[in-house]
Amino acid sequence: MTARTTARTTKMGMGIVAALLAASVYGVGYWMGHRQAPANADHEAAAQARKPLFYRNPMGLPDTSPTPKKDAMGMDYIPVYAGEQPDEAPGATQQIKISTDKVQKLGVRTEAVQRKVLDRTLRAAGRVELDERRVYTIAAKFEGYVEKLHVNATGQAVRQGQTLFEVYSPELVSAQREYLLANQALKDASADNLPGLQPGMQQLADAGLARLKNWDISPEQLAQIKAAAAAGQTRRTLSVSSPVGGVVTEKKAVQGMRFAPGEVLYQVADLSTVWVMAEVFEQDIRWVKTGSRAKVHLSAYPDNVFEGPVTTIYPTLKAETRTVAVRIELSNPGGRLKPGMFAQVELGNATPRDMTLAVPISAVIDSGTRQIVLVQRGEGRYEPREVRLGVRNDKDVEVLSGVQDGEAVVVSANFLIDAESNLKAAISGFGHAAVGHHAQGKVEAIDAANKELSISHGPVASLHWPGMTMDFKVANEALLQGLQPGSAISFEFVERGPGEWVITAVQPTAHAGH
């Protein structure tokens, strides 16, 4: 074989090897490409699934962003991914989380919202007063003098028709004489057979008798005047009697005094029925109806309860006390109820109310401006709900809006009472009762008056915080004892409110952890 032939053969062999190597590389590349394609697709799907829903403020403030950003301190907003914090998504209702053991230790108890009939019972202060319809005044319609008193003391009991006093009146005597003369002239005209004079004399006699009747002279006394006139006499005095049985509540008559027409001389009250005037507050008057039954308690008779109907709700409000007077009528056999007595009144509904949603009163947290209940959303999960309340009784309160029938609400949760008795702090403290954060740092400054510490701390992994210097509140003053600027500490803190971080435990350490 020549050298040229050998060279050609060698060159062809190298070409074949190169072709085989190229084919092998292509095959391996094709196989690797097909093998890696599913892995790359899974990676892209995972990356797509981990796309942040939004970004939240690193300091816990209620501020979110759809894109990455930094806060005023230069800290990055924390991404929130699907499935990580569903309760903190924008627009979602914030829920409170607490561990099961905490629930048991703190004595959390719940009850279901139920439909009930709430019978409202109002309590009001009252007083016993006279029944105005049974009060009578005695006043003469003519001028005269008190000749003699038969009832001479206030508070004296009198019978109907009993003589109170005797009066002398020149007008009364004059009217009797006119009647006497007319009656005598009528008799003379009849005796002398003068029929033309009889009608005129009869009219004069009737006019004199009518004058006496107009002065409220009783039929019995008119009969006596007629009898005296028939005998040719007049009565000097006239007896005035009580028109009703009762008690003398006012006596102005004095023996020998002169009185004018219409002047009140006696007042007599029938105490067989009395009124109790109860003062009901303005916000409660809508629950009082005429016809409803009332219970009256008196200090004088602690073992007795007096009952009667509400007869009148007065149409005016007393501006000084912001109350409306409500009148209750009570029978008073034996006169046990004395006008002026103090009374405690219980007012019930006139008619049964409809079924309404109600929760125990202990379930409501009242800040003064709004009312909140905690609705159980699962094991250790609670949702604050603002509610609108209606009528209440001793145990339950009507809920007009905010909860639904069958939902469970917290009725016993003493852990909601925090040091400041602040609703916002209580709810926030409840939400973070089981979430504590740990850090190490150095005390920079102490503000004992405001119970604050300025701390230069290291990173906080649970909050994704870098090291920085910031102010913290302390849960109580005892945590400040033994601390001074420069002290190295390890501490635990919680978020009591948005952006409000409170130290709950502190422990001095050898070195500050930065």
Condensed to tens digits (0 to 9), the pLDDT of residues 438-476 reads 999 999 999 988 889 999 999 998 888 888 999 999 988
Distance of CA 400 to CAs 160, 358, 386, Å? 58, 9, 11
Distance of CA 254 to CAs 153, 172, 266, Å? 10, 20, 10
**pLDDT per residue as tens digits for the range 415-434:** 443 333 344 444 444 444 44
Confidence at residue 300, expressed as pLDDT on a 0 to 100 scale: 92
Specify which residues 280 forms β-bridges with: 324
Confidence at residue 194, expressed as pLDDT on a 0 to 100 scale: 66
Best CA proximity match to 217, nearest among 260, 176, 271, 265: 176
Best CA proximity match to 119, nearest among 292, 371, 266: 292
Buried/exposed 85-94: b ≥16 CB within 10 Å, e otherwise? eeeeeeeeee
Q: Are 425 and 381 in contact (CB under 8 A)?
A: no
Residues 6+ apart with CB under 8 A from 414: 106, 107
Residues 6+ apart with CB under 8 A from 274: 128, 129, 130, 131, 329, 330, 332, 337, 339
70 pLDDT band, cuts 50/70/90, is confident
For the record, the structure tokens of 395 come out as 């145990």
Per the domain annotation, does 369 fall within a domain? Answer: yes
460 and 386, same structural domain?
no
334 and 280, same structural domain?
yes
Residues 6+ apart with CB under 8 A from 38: none
337 and 302, same structural domain?
yes
Q: Are 250 and 267 in contact (CB under 8 A)?
A: yes
Buried/exposed 377-391: b ≥16 CB within 10 Å, e otherwise? beebebbbbebebeb
265 and 277, same structural domain?
no
Best CA proximity match to 325, nearest among 347, 295, 299, 351: 347
Average pLDDT over residues 496-511: 81
Per the domain annotation, does 401 fall within a domain? Answer: yes
For the record, the structure tokens of 332 come out as 């008073």
**pLDDT per residue as tens digits for the range 217-266:** 888 888 888 888 888 888 888 889 998 899 999 999 999 999 999 999 99
Residues 6+ apart with CB under 8 A from 436: 492, 493, 494, 504
Average pLDDT over residues 173-179: 85
Per the domain annotation, does 169 fall within a domain? Answer: yes
Which domain, by its residues, includes 495?
436-508
Per the domain annotation, does 105 fall within a domain? Answer: yes
Of the ranges 7-16, 285-294, 316-325, 399-408, the best mean pLDDT one: 316-325
pLDDT above 80 for 32: no
Per the domain annotation, does 124 fall within a domain? Answer: no
Question: What sign does the CA torsion over 301, 302, 304, 310 have?
Answer: positive
Give dist(CA 141, CA 445) in Å, integer.
Answer: 94
Per the domain annotation, does 123 fall within a domain? Answer: no
CATH number assigned to the domain comprising residue 463: 2.40.50.320
In 59-119 the beta strands, taken as DSSP E runs, fall at 64-65, 78-80, 96-97, 109-112, 114-116
Phi-psi region of 336 (alpha: psi -120 to 50; beta: other; left: phi over 0): alpha
478 and 448, same structural domain?
yes
Give dist(CA 157, CA 192) in Å, integer.
Answer: 54
Q: Can you give the pTM of this predicted structure?
A: 0.53
Q: Are 512 and 456 in contact (CB under 8 A)?
A: yes
291 and 245, same structural domain?
no
Higher pLDDT, 277 or 212: 277
For the record, the structure tokens of 283 come out as 């916000």
| E strand or H helix at 178 | helix 170-191
62 and 151, same structural domain?
no
Of 251, 269, 287, the residue at which a domain comes to its end is: 269
CATH number assigned to the domain comprising residue 292: 2.40.30.170
Residue with tokens 């303005």, as numbered in its chain: 282
CATH number assigned to the domain comprising residue 151: 2.40.50.100
- The chain-wide mean pLDDT, for the chain, equals 79
**pLDDT per residue as tens digits for the range 97-107:** 666 776 676 67
Give dist(CA 129, CA 161) in Å, integer.
Answer: 25
Give dist(CA 446, CA 439) in Å, integer.
Answer: 18
Best CA proximity match to 102, nearest among 331, 387, 430: 430
Distance of CA 490 to CAs 146, 437, 480, 484, Å? 100, 11, 13, 14
Confidence at residue 47, expressed as pLDDT on a 0 to 100 scale: 45
258 and 139, same structural domain?
yes
Q: Cα angle vertex 349, ends 347, 353, to 5°?
A: 155
Average pLDDT over residues 410-417: 58
149 and 238, same structural domain?
yes
Per the domain annotation, does 326 fall within a domain? Answer: yes
259 and 187, same structural domain?
yes
143 and 218, same structural domain?
yes
How many domains does the chain divide into? Answer: 6
Per the domain annotation, does 125 fall within a domain? Answer: no
Buried/exposed 231-268: b ≥16 CB within 10 Å, e otherwise? eeebbebbbbbbeeebbbbebebeeeeebeeeeebbbb
Give dist(CA 243, CA 270) in Å, integer.
Answer: 10
Of 383, 400, 424, the residue at which a domain comes to its end is: 424
57 and 44, same structural domain?
no
Give dist(CA 266, CA 101) in Å, integer.
Answer: 79
Residues 6+ apart with CB under 8 A from 58: 71, 75, 76, 77, 78, 463, 464, 465
